[in-house]
Amino acid sequence: MSTTKIKTTQLWGKNKDDLKKQLLDLKTELAQLRTQKVAGGANSKLTKIHDLRKSIARVLTVINATQRSQLRIFYKNKKYLPLDLRPKKTRAMRRRLTKHEESIISEKQKKRQMHFPQRKYAVKAEA
């Protein structure tokens, strides 16, 4: 059983199986401490519950972050990206036209620009 807090730097180097095993160990230890709490354990053991919960959160964070980074690599050159990997932004920004869509000019607009171009005026500069 672990006695000290888990450092996140130690977790990044581990593979998924090691992380899952460590998570299982932490959860079993937490369950034991909770039963001791109900039975009326010492205060030193009760304070350890907090550290265990935070350690479990750290392990889960590392697992999720590595999984998301692997998914980003997998979907890198694909046409579509899963919704949770897309940039959040705001609803209006997500629905806005892309730069390419904004630059497209319709046939009607092209004809209008060709036949009625912007007029150029020679304006005398005042001295």
* The pair of three-digit structure tokens given for residue 18, joined into one six-digit string: 């090691």
**pLDDT for res 75:** 95
Give the rounded distance of the alpha carbon of 86 from its chain centre. 9
- Amino acid residing at 85: L
pLDDT value at residue 45: 76
Task: Give the distance, in angstroms, between the CA of residue 108 and the centroid of all CA atoms in the same chain.
Answer: 43
Give the tens place of pLDDT for each residue, 104-127: 999 999 999 999 999 988 888 886
Backbone angles phi, psi at 5, to 5 degrees: -70, 150
Mean pLDDT rounded to a whole number for the chain = 90
User: pLDDT band for position 1 (50/70/90)?
Assistant: low
Q: What is the mean pLDDT of residues 53-63?
A: 95
